[in-house]
Chains A and B, each alone.
Chain A
Amino acid sequence: MATTAVAPGQPTTKIGKAATEIDERLIVAGPLRRSLNKVFPDHWSFLLGEIALYSFVILLLSGTYLTFFFDASMSETVYQGAYAPLRGVEMSQAYESTLALSFDVRGGLLIRQIHHWAALLFVASIVVHLVRIFFTGAFRKPRETNWMIGVVLLVLALLMGVTGYSMPDDLLSGTGLRIISAILLSIPVIGTWAHWAVFDGDYVGDAIIGRFYIVHVLILPAIILALIVVHLLLLIKQKHTQFPGPGRTEHNVVGNRLFPAFAGKATALFFIVFGLCAALGGLVQINPIWLWGPYNPAQVSAGSQPDWYIGFLDGSTRLFPAWDINLPGDYTIPALFWPTVVVAGAMFTVLALYPQLERKLTGDTASHHLLQRPRDVPVRTSVGVMALTFYGVLWMSGGNDLIADKFDISLNAMTWVGRIGMIVVPPIAYMATYRICLGLQRHDREVLEHGIETGVIRRLPSGEFIEVHQPLGPVDEHGHGQLSYGGAPVPKKMNQVGGARRAIKGFFKPIEQVSDVELGSRREQRGLAAAEAERDQLTRSGRPSEGGRPSDGGRPQDPRD
């Protein structure tokens, strides 16, 4: 093309020209702009899922490094590596190569420990993310599918953990493997067949670590990766939920655009999560397999604990009574079957189906994009706390021998504490949570009706002392506020409604012009009318025709949209 004159709008810079070249081939400018303009709501709790995603990235990176050194073989060898106390000891290749990558690979121990810490963080962030989704009602229509994918991801993450920590073939992981073998055997009818299929024979055989390895490094990661992609695509398609607030409705998303604010924050979080894992991986020792020694079926160390996320199953197994069920024909359902296969199966099934259950029980079939505050749905919140308490008792019982040891309590007493506690404590937690939710709800309405307590005491001419209340909005003839509750936090301190001046910044000397800050705050004062208008909007569901939401507490809500 003869460059006689630049056509209007044609780029003149090098980068601009290159970008045009690319777009002429791929036509990506439109989709790219749409992505950059995508709005993400801003709340700290929306970052929990991101932490899980970033931990997974760290797991992939560190795990790939480890595969270059790990040898998933159970054939016997004699250790001759750098760690003198184990020299000359017979062990499996798997254990030997794990020792080698800890002691003979430069920086290998760091990567191994980063991998382990990232795995703990991965499961932990999934669980906390799930708890956030649950208590704010983000799983409701149209997001039930994504909830279910999330639960499947959690189960897969647990399996990743189990296959991962079983591979080094040290004494601790071998003990875990032995229990996995017993759990497989405990399944009625097909137990022995299942065991033979997984272990390729009787315990322990020589196939299991190789099999766990391929499951751990190929099959599970591939499934998890695919599900994460679907999880995120659904999130993008359905857009993120948001908490109710000024201008936020069921039909919009208020927040930051992807570029640059959200991208900056997300990248920052990735680096912080990675940094945290790296620091933990270097500074805090985890699973020092060289102290446990190679696996030996005749040995075990006291205080054997699995990684934290399996603790609840260890606890349920400790608590469940010795109830073998003997069936006619000399068949047995082992007691071990109930606290492991049945408890885990039931817990995850109920969890996965919870959105459908709630939908059936409340009859709420509407789509929801605005989140709920836990206090506004006391039944769900209490059910959630009850479930968490049950989980907590099981989890604590997974370490009841350590508690018994450290606090000098009888071990058998700790078992009974767990057995009684898992039945008695959850209902108490339910009731307490329910009362707390109602109390918080009432306080919100109290403040909306009577205003914020200012702490200023005034004496009336009659001699009566009263506390001055600051109304949040217009009042009726009795002095009662006319704002209705809109599902958003209600300011309860004077500082939250501009009762205090902003501090002037600068540590040793002020770096802001005092007059500017003064002007700014005066501008904010002028903006109070606008803020009040916003707050008025806050108390409606976004449709002016509806005139605000009724304060409907925990009752099932009518479909609003």
Chain B
Amino acid sequence: MDIFSNPVLLNVLIGVILISISTAAVGCLLYVQKNALLGETLAHGCLPGIYCAFIFSTTRNLFWLSIGAAISGLISSYLVDLIVAKSRLSRDGAMAVVLSSMFGLGVVLLSFIQQNNYPNQNGLEDLFFGNAAAMSGNDIKIIGLISIAIWFLLITNYRKLLLTLFDSGFAKFQGIRPKFYIAVISTLAATSVAIGMQTTGAVLIAALIITPAASARIWCSRLFDMILLAIIFAIIGGTVGTLCSYAAPKMPTGPWIVVCMAVLFLLSSLTKRIYLYSTKSD
């Protein structure tokens, strides 16, 4: 299986790596915020936006779909915060409410699209499980641009984000508005989920956000190290997963990536336990 002679595979690999870097980094922020499952809520929350964008633009242009997804995702994130702030419902309940309502709405929109015979609708169902193979060169360019924007925002605001997440009171004293930076994190999360859904699909994108971060936290005492390690884990898991899925015909890519990342998590945890055990008996 020569990677470089198979342009589709190369495309998919590049796309997966780009996406995994963003989701891993954002995932670390959500992890320390104790908000790891937001990825799950966002994934379902993005669906209505994608379908609406499709209906309005009648194209499957990734750019418009991503914008629709990101807006819808942001609205979902905002609704969760609103419900938590203004009602008795816990965060857990609020996320589940937004998740299921948006999913229901998504299913309604999808059935509407299917019943009304819109052109170009093939492959919209792929958003549930991902269809990495459908990534065109154009898609990669769009994913690349959006990823660079995400990384740029992260790098330029890193210290402010760290302060906001760790001690928002102290952040206020430093002249940082915590609410604004929490919104930045939500935006970054919604955007990474929006572009990532193409590969792993809505159901599994949460794994790309949570697993590398959890694997990295085991080893790192500093957020910066954690983000770097998570990115490394994500790239490895994404690459191995994609290659595995191409080893056999008709294998979906998303699930393989998730399983590989989970294996990495297991290895990371076990190695740490062995390391702790061996240093203790010294």
- Answer yes or no: are A and B bound together in one complex: no
Residues of A near any B CB (own CB < 8 A): none
